[in-house]
Amino acid sequence: MGPLQIKEILQTSPENQSVTVKGWVRTKRESKNAIFIALNDGSTIHNIQAVAEPGQFSAELLSTVTTGSCLKITGQLVESQGSGQLVEVKIEDILVYGTADPETFPLQPKKHSLEFLREIAHLRPRTNTFSAILRIRHALAFAVHQYFNDGGFFYLHTPVITASDAEGAGEMFRVTTLDLNKLPRTEEGAINFKEDFFGREANLTVSGQLEGELGAMALSKIYTFGPTFRAENSNTTRHLAEFWMIEPEMAFFELEDNMDLAEDFVKKVITYALINCKDDLNFLQNRLAEEEKNKPQNERSIPLLEKLSFVVDNPFERLTYTEAIEILLKSKPHKEKKFQYPVGWGIDLSSEHERYLVEKHFKKPVILTNYPKEIKSFYMKLDEDGKTVRAMDVLFPGIGEIIGGSQREEDYEKLLGRVKEVGIDPENLWWYLETRKFGTAPHSGFGLGFERLVLFVTGMSNIRDVIPFPRYPKSAEF
Amino acid sequence: MGPLQIKEILQTSPENQSVTVKGWVRTKRESKNAIFIALNDGSTIHNIQAVAEPGQFSAELLSTVTTGSCLKITGQLVESQGSGQLVEVKIEDILVYGTADPETFPLQPKKHSLEFLREIAHLRPRTNTFSAILRIRHALAFAVHQYFNDGGFFYLHTPVITASDAEGAGEMFRVTTLDLNKLPRTEEGAINFKEDFFGREANLTVSGQLEGELGAMALSKIYTFGPTFRAENSNTTRHLAEFWMIEPEMAFFELEDNMDLAEDFVKKVITYALINCKDDLNFLQNRLAEEEKNKPQNERSIPLLEKLSFVVDNPFERLTYTEAIEILLKSKPHKEKKFQYPVGWGIDLSSEHERYLVEKHFKKPVILTNYPKEIKSFYMKLDEDGKTVRAMDVLFPGIGEIIGGSQREEDYEKLLGRVKEVGIDPENLWWYLETRKFGTAPHSGFGLGFERLVLFVTGMSNIRDVIPFPRYPKSAEF
């Protein structure tokens, strides 16, 4: 549908056929014998080279062919004379759709900092780095849908606006249509949310899990893939106020099945990118090598493709939280008091601990299970010992926790007890509790922050660079 | 991954092999010679029949096997003795995962009204009607991703939280973390939104189009598929406060290409459902026939599958708004003053006019183009006459507008003029305007409300019944 794209044209065998190429000028180079225009339309990291003869076009026209301008070029597709590409276009005609004044167009062919590019997020998809990231992001998203569809899961659109902070997963954004300058009051003087749009207080969801469970208790296997929100004032390279989560929930899955699914899922999705995004991954691998070329050898990252293949090819290490604590207690950094946070059974593992396990001790992805109930959510199934829950966290090198999940508590009384224990009003969760009252069953699920996955696969280091228009404290531009 | 599902088991050839079946009891029937349990796990509309001998299990156990209870049944897969199914399970063992007290479980095997089921949206996916709808919804969503992926489009996640009411498409929900009981004030006494999370006023998006255009002006072909919001106090069968939109945007597409894409897209996606959701569509077709059996013949709907095939098999009628007005002016209902709203060039067509064109005059889907600029959005490309714009609306029988789109104004000065004309501060859209300053190009796009599509394909009549947890005025339950 629509005109041929540069990706397709570059794969066509050149037989002097007529072609039309549309795209944005990346560079223009003039030599004595020819004028070379590198054109890119975002369909691929590769430009197509279009060649004109000196004098073929007026100086006036050529002066508008500058980096960033948009052209329609018609000509002949011929075997390329230069190296690096198989085909090029012998230009017959140029139509300039839109110019890009070199004095003001910010994306000149030179290196721009990622910080600068964040300020022009409306234009950064026109750079090699960001177009590669966005194509990989697309491929990963498609792989997610394909994986679950093939596996008999149903995509469930859980609500974004919710009246329950069910998970207690974090600070929430309020959603309201009340006029803040004329807030309605009850007789007691409190804000009268009965007059708000939904007749009650409403927020942006922090997770679709609880509603996802409702789906799984009817359709057996569902997944969500939608935006979730955290109103935390975190200005870090790992947090966004708005990000996309993938949350499968499965009836009849126990913790072991859940781990099998999580490992298979993440491996298949990364494999899809390795197969379908070779050129973009190569580009990002080289970019990273270039960035790190001044670092000493031992501080440089593993090459991107090697890192991804390693994750795909090796079984994840599975152990319990208790076993992990033992390893940490015996570790060199613990004995030498190099960990910033103390180690001991009951602690919430911090990033340094997770990284030690993944990067130093096992040197591969790790799945930790059976965490102390005190540091995990109320909906996780209690182990027989009454101390731990059937939680599982998948830890990745460089990223830390990429997946968090658990077998869910299916026993009504135990769940109700935990709800009360953590201070949630059971009234607010009547619908969630009822799934344990009517036809309950063992079930499990997990959540994967999509941007964490994209971060890992692209080798980027700031999460604001793997989503088109990042939302974070004091920033909602574009 | 995970245990075999009933859908798969029903397609297995019976060779007396051992099987394990997990699911929820739809019905239990006891006869002199056998006990029949119909089990469903949501993977298909069909139940599997499991058969036990009288006396094989204790009365105590059997008393907990009631509609809604969840079982694990092990047994032999054998050829079915009864009609209507090829295989059944000869029960060897029953494990009751969860009971469903017949006194309190609301989904007893009888007809429930859709209104009642809306009140128990946490359980309604366990009914035939809603599980069929949710499976079809999944299939349509997957078909959307597959269609665009195959066509070289990139899935772009545009932001949900936005600081611009760019499109002016409707009332918006405010997003805030300010404490409403202690609103910060500026020196002048106004609410100080600089202290809000994003340092400014923020809302839930009404459309990802403008950000989508930014993507298209770099990657050529993108699409969005995400939640959008309207804070309109509309309690109708066609409006939701939160709904999912699909918005492709394409560089180098003119209005004609846009129409071709829209028609091809909607046909392919419906075809996917016709191929992959036969059983569910059949069920819904019969459901509709059952609902309408007391109506006179001429008031009944076209059978669902016939309606869908008709849309897929016939070219949509394309005509201009001006031509449509002429047809309406010559129409019988106009001459007999049967239209509620007057007809004349310049009017915003109302539902009765659209339905006349689609259902009475052309008897097929219609694409109307070139609407008066006054009744369309500022970003639509002005026609040469200066009066109309390159808009297109795709109108479907029963649904009305299912797709709205246009060629976008690519000329900086004309766009700026329109922005000012409609009273938007150009400062708020600096990033949008800049795409016309730097390498502008002809481009087009459209939006399709996903729930409208699901409504059409399922033949349901209330949009609240085609989304798992609907959001509308005074309702944000679950």
Residue ranges of B 287-316 with Cβ closer than 8 A to chain A: none
- At residue B204, φ and ψ (nearest 5 deg) are -85, 140
A341–chain B Cβ distance below 8 A for any pair: no
Distance in Å, alpha carbon of B397 to nearest chain A alpha carbon: 26
Judge whether B441 is closer than 8 Å to chain A, CB to CB. yes
Q: Is A439 left (phi over 0), alpha (psi -120 to 50) or beta?
A: left
Q: Which residues of chain A have pLDDT under 70?
A: 1, 165-170
Q: Does A219 touch chain B (CB under 8 A)?
A: yes
Tell whether A226 is within 8 A of chain B (Cβ): yes
The per-residue pLDDT for range B382-434, each reduced to its tens digit, is 999 999 999 999 999 988 899 999 999 999 999 999 999 998 999 999 999 99
**Interface contact A431-B244, CB threshold 8 A:** no
**Which tokens in the block code for residue A373?**
């109930």
Portion of chain A with pLDDT greater than 90, in percent: 91
* pLDDT higher than threshold 90 for residue B475: yes
Q: What is the CA radius of gyration of chain A?
A: 27
The answer to whether A87 and A79 have CB atoms below 8 angstroms apart is: yes
B25 forms beta bridges with B39
B174 three-state secondary structure: strand
pLDDT of B168 > 70? The answer is: no
Range(s) for CATH 2.40.50.140 in chain B? 6-108
Q: What's the whole-number average pLDDT of chain B?
A: 95
Query: Chain A contact for B380, CB < 8 A?
Result: no
Pairwise CB contact (< 8 Å): B158 & A204: no
Of B67, B80, B81, the C-alpha closest to B23 is B67
The residue assigned the tokens 């919001």 is B229
Q: Position B423: which residue type?
A: G
Q: Which residues of A touch B469 (CB under 8 A)?
A: 158-159, 211
Alpha helices (H) along B277-398: 278-291, 304-313, 321-329, 332-335, 351-355
Measure B407 CA to nearest chain A CA, in Å. Answer: 14
For residue B101, what are its two tokens?
Answer: 């007290």
**B454 vs B136: CA distance, rounded Å:** 8
Residue contacts between A and B (CB atoms, under 8 Å)? 351
Mutate which of B94, B181, B193, B219 to test chain A, going by most A C-beta atoms within 10 A?
Answer: B219
- At residue A165, the pLDDT reads 60
Closest CA to A289 of A278, A301, A299, A273: A301
CATH 3.30.930.10 residue ranges in chain A?
Answer: 126-171+206-465
Options 1.10.540.10, 3.50.50.60, 2.40.50.140, 1.10.287.3510; CATH for A6-108 is 2.40.50.140
Alpha carbons A303 and A309: distance in angstroms, whole number: 10
Q: Between the CA atoms of A206, A208, A209 and A214, what dihedral angle is there, to the nearest 10 degrees?
A: 140
The distance from CA B124 to its chain's CA centroid, rounded to whole angstroms, is 17
Nearest CA in chain B to A233: B197
What CATH fold (topology level) applies to the domain B126-171+206-465? Answer: BirA Bifunctional Protein; domain 2 (3.30.930)
Q: What is the DSSP letter of B163?
A: S
**Interface confidence (ipTM) of the complex:** 0.97
Instruction: Point out the residue among B145, B149, B197 whose CB comes nearest to the CB of A241.
Output: B197
> Residue B166 — pLDDT band, cuts 50, 70, 90?
low
DSSP string across B199-251? SS-EEE-S-SHHHHHHHHHHHSEEEEEEEEE------SSS--SEEEEEEEEEE
CB A447 within 8 A of CB A209: yes
- What tokens does A117 get? 């590019």
B465 touches A: beta carbon within 8 Å: no
The sheet that has B154-155: what strands, in order across it?
A: B154-155, B221-229, B242-251, B443-449, B400-408, B388-396, B366-372, B317-320
Q: Which residue(s) pair with B275 in the sheet?
A: none
Rounded Cα gap, residues B242 and B4, in angstroms: 35
- Spatial distance between the Cα atoms of B166 and B423, rounded to a whole number of angstroms: 11
Under DSSP, the state recorded for B465 is G
Cβ pair B5, B41 in contact under 8 A: yes
B323 contact partners, CB below 8 Å, separation of at least 6: none
- By Cβ distance, the residue of B157, B260, B432 closest to A1 is B260
Whether A176 and B177 lie within 8 Å, measured CB to CB:
no
**Dihedral Cα B141, B147, B150, B153, nearest 10 deg:** -90
Task: Tell me which chain A residues have a C-beta less than 8 angstroms from the C-beta of B107.
Answer: 438
DSSP tag of A102? T
Please give the helix or strand (H or E) that residue A279 lies within, else none: helix A278-291
